[in-house]
Amino acid sequence: MMDWTDRHCRYFMRLLSPFAFLYTEMVTAAAVVHGDADRLLRFNDAEHPLALQLGGSDPDQMAQATRTAAAFGFDEFNVNVGCPSDRVQSGEFGACLMARPDIVAECLSAMQAETDAPVTVKSRIGIDDHDSDAFLWHFVETVANAGCRKFIVHARIAILEGLSPKENRSVPPLNYDRVYRLKQDFPELVIIINGGLTSIDAVEEVLQHVDGAMIGRQAYHQPYFLTELAHHFDAEWPLPDRRAIVNQMLSYVESMLAEGVSLSRITRHMLGLFAAQPGARAWRRHISENAHREGAGPEVLLDALKAMPVAA
């Protein structure tokens, strides 16, 4: 979710669901240590609970990044061992680290020494020809022995050579059963499943076997799905109207514009709010054509609403 789940996206997502545990896009430890940490790490208090997802393979650097980030008040630190991109592999982190569980364990231990917040791991079920229960079990056991109690597992292997990151999200087949068996064999660990969850029924099914479900692209492209999930699991929480959510965003938009943030940086995350609803195309078109214009402000969202059918 790099370049997707930035702070503007997360603020919007929090309005859609008060219960979801939000995760940042992956931030490299090197960028935190050597770059503009405030720009990379700051967030709105409304985003809690929020986890920072870090990428890296140097224990000292991961520890230093965690020490810096801990001051911002994150609720969890998550080590990315699932991203298959060439850029990540060249930095020797991401999914390729599944073949080096000892390094992941060292990073985890170093990070735990810098924060009281949980340090967790997100991985695949395997990489390349390492497509077996034994490979995943060895990885999990090694990292768990270093103190990790929570694993988020994308239920596909990662093909590190020959497939693009986009293809790695759909071409390798899903294998939920392996994740279910992982939970059975490590009942003391918190196992969260990720990958291909696009309906409430699908989420309900996986929760019969594991401790939680992570929703990624479905929540981004059809963000109201998060709201429907929240209502499904807590019927006393009323479903908010989509238009009301837009109106709640207006004050945030104004505050960000005052900081010099361009409107399009915020509204790009809102394009899917009316997905599958009457007027969805008009909503997307108006924002896409106007949010980037010089001086564009909250009126772009209000005018986009006016362009839609009243019932939407």
DSSP per-residue codes, 185-246: H-TTSEEEEESS--SHHHHHHHTTTSSEEE--HHHHHSTHHHHHHHHHH-TTSPPPPHHHHH
Within 13 A of 153's CA, how many CA atoms are on the CB side? 33
Largest CA distance in the chain: 57
- Active-site residue flag, 83: yes
**Catalytic annotation, pick one of 9, 83, 107, 148:** 83
Cβ atoms of residues 50 and 23 within 8 Å: yes
Task: Give the residues across from 126 on adjacent strands.
Answer: 157
Residue 214 to residue 195: CA distance in whole angstroms: 8
φ and ψ of 206, to 5 deg: -65, -30
**Is the Cβ–Cβ distance between 107 and 95 less than 8 Å?**
no
Q: Helices in the chain by DSSP H: which ranges? A: 7-16, 29-34, 37-41, 59-70, 86-90, 101-112, 133-144, 176-185, 200-206, 217-221, 224-233, 242-258, 263-267, 280-290, 299-306
CA distances 245 to 51, 228, 252, Å, are 23, 14, 11
Give me the residues paired with residue 190 across strands. Answer: 150
Report the catalytic residues: 83
